[in-house]
Amino acid sequence: MAWTAHTIIQNGRAIPFEDARIHPLSVGLAYGAAVFEGIRAYINPATGRLSVFRLEEHLIRLDQGIKFMRFDDPPSRDVLRQGVMDAIMANAPDDDCYIRLQVHIESRGSMATTGTVGWVCAAIPRERSTKRESGLAAGVSSWVRISDNTMPARIKATANYHAGRIATQQAKADGYDTPILLTREGKVSETAGACLFMVRDGVVITPARDSDILESVTRDTVLELARENGFTTQERRADRTELYVADEVFVCGTGQELLPVTSIDRLAVGDGKPGVITLRLQAAYESVVRGTTDAHAAWRTPVA
Ligand SMILES: Cc1ncc(COP(=O)(O)O)c(C=O)c1O
């Protein structure tokens, strides 16, 4: 049964979901001074219990963003960890949930203002993609990926999603499900909201960390699962044309999970159906996030 979120945590206080407030002229909104994490918690089908997937890794990345943004007196990792747990427990979800944890500048001020810092944590239902089985139609975007010395993709800032949004809108206007973005040098980067993998001759390849990607928790998970499943992995720069000749392509991220890409620029990927290695990794991902395997128990934080 679909649950609804009725309570949100703002600056450590549980309040009705619709009552969360921030001033329209706050620096967080006016200049996009905000960093966030998208996290998922999954139900184990045998126990009916929820656990948060790779919570610590998300909290570490958020800390990196907070440091980079030079925020004054930010909430500690312990406070934010508790905020995630409180947001879930307050809503007593009976199904998987998606958690948005955001730290922003709450006060008004100039572009360079570094405080007052506020934070919010919401646990909400989120549908899974309808493209899990059929796969995505992707188009290589004419928009270029934001680069490290202008607007670093490594920092999960809300403002980065302006670039992702215009590429996504262009892709949809052109009839695709998702854009694939290239770096300024023309190498493959990622999509607007997920990392990208391809499979060539059985080797599982993903653009290297210096390809203007978000250092994705799911990407790291998939690399580990691929190695455990006996595949050779490569993190390296990748050419655009490799996308067209790859046997398989898929995207991954907390929100999108693991989705096959079945066409790029209207050219079929492989035989135009989700690839066998993609499906194997999708199944391995599903069992590790849900805890239907005992492997990687440390990746799952039980919700009390
Ligand atoms: C641009 C971008 N790349 C990659 C990802 C995947 O990151 P993660 O696996 O940590 O969710 C996301 C997820 O939000 C994203 O927005």
In this structure, the residue with its CA closest to atom 5 of ligand 1 is 194
User: pLDDT digits over 252-264, tens only?
Assistant: 999 999 999 999 9
178 lines ligand 1 (CB under 6 A): no
Residue 1 has pLDDT above 70, yes or no: no
Ligand 1 within 6 A of CB of 255: yes
- Give the model's pLDDT for residue 208: 98
Which stretches does DSSP call E strand in 85-191? Answer: 97-105, 117-124, 136-144, 178-182
The CA distance from 212 to 44, in Å, is 35
217 CB under 6 A from ligand 1? yes
Atom of ligand 1 nearest to the CA of 192: 1
Atom of ligand 1 nearest to the CA of 164: 1
**Using CA atoms, how far apart are residues 249 and 137, in angstroms rounded to an integer?**
11
Q: Measured in angstroms, how far is the CA atom of residue 197 from the centroid of ligand 1?
A: 13
Phi then psi for residue 202, to 5 deg, are: 80, -5
CA distance 167 to 161: 10
Is pLDDT of 23 > 90?
yes
Ligand 1 centroid to residue 119 C-alpha, Å? 20
User: For the residues 70-76, what does the mean pLDDT come to?
Assistant: 97
- Catalytic residue list contains 131: no
Ligand 1 centroid to 295 CA: how many Å? 23
Cα of 209 from ligand 1 centre, angstroms: 13
Domains of the chain: 7-124 (3.30.470.10), 131-290 (3.20.10.10)
Q: What does the pLDDT read at residue 304? A: 85
Please provide the average confidence, as pLDDT, over all residues in the chain.
Answer: 97
Please enumerate in sequence order all residues whose Cβ is within 8 A of that of 63, keeping only pairs 6 or more positions apart, or say none. Answer: 77
Does ligand 1 lie within 6 Å of residue 195's CB atom?
Answer: yes
Q: Which of 67, 131, 156, 273 is an active site residue? A: 156
119 within 8 A of 101, measured Cβ to Cβ: yes
Alpha-carbon distance 199 to 242, whole Å? 10
Residues 6+ apart with CB under 8 A from 106: 22, 23, 26, 28, 116, 117, 118
Q: Which pLDDT score, from 0 to 100, does residue 127 have?
A: 87
Question: 303 C-alpha vs ligand 1 centroid, how far in Å?
Answer: 23
Return the residue matching tokens 């930010």. 74
The predicted structure's pLDDT at residue 268: 98
Task: Name the residue at shortest CA distance from atom 14 of ligand 1.
Answer: 193
Q: Which ligand 1 atom is at minimum distance from the Cα of 254?
A: 11
pLDDT in tens, 265-298: 999 999 999 999 999 999 999 999 999 999 999 9
Q: Is the CB of 167 under 6 A from ligand 1?
A: no
For residue 9, the tally of other CB atoms under 10 A from its CB is 24
